[in-house]
């Protein structure tokens, strides 16, 4: 893999990073309002389902200036974490926007990974 490989897919990379940002913000926003809830079980479930996708999305954003291999590894991890998180979060009350943000991020990561595999 070459260092400049992602330069061939600027639109996919930009979309992926934007969607990862929106995903992280949606997860963090949902988790931010939970302390107002008296339902400790709901808080624990939501943290279990949303903390990892939010953190992985933030890592993806932070590694974009690193070697291509690291960016693609983070994109794979983000795709998997957000896809799994979206599936799990369907059971959370009022989490429709979070589920949508995670699904969108997973799809953007998949498109970026597909585009980079096509360029070599």
Give per-residue pLDDT as tens, 65-105: 899 999 999 999 999 999 999 999 999 999 999 999 999 99
Task: Spell out the residues 6+ positions from residue 113 whose beta carbon is closer than 8 angstroms to its own.
Answer: 72, 75, 76, 79
- Report the alpha-carbon distance of residue 17 to residue 20 in Å, rounded: 5
Domains of the chain: 7-118 (1.20.1270.360)
**Across the chain, which distance is largest between two alpha carbons, in Å?**
52
Q: What pTM value is reported for the model?
A: 0.90
- Report the alpha-carbon distance of residue 98 to residue 50 in Å, rounded: 9
Residue 37 — φ and ψ, nearest 5°?
-80, 140
Confidence of residue 5 (pLDDT cuts 50, 70, 90): low
């Amino acid at each position: 893999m070459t260092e400049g490989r992602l330069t061939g897919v600027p639109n996919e990379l930009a979309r992926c990073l934007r969607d990862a940002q929106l995903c992280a913000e949606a997860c963090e926003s949902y988790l931010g309002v939970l302390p107002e809830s008296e339902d400790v079980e709901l808080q624990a479930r939501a943290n279990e389902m949303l903390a990892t996708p939010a953190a992985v999305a933030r890592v993806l954003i932070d590694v974009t200036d690193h070697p291509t291999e690291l960016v693609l590894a983070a994109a794979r991890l983000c795709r998997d974490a957000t896809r799994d998180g979206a599936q799990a979060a369907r059971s959370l009350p009022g989490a429709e926007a979070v589920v949508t943000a995670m699904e969108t991020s997973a799809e953007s990561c998949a498109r970026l990974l597909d585009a980079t595999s096509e360029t070599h």
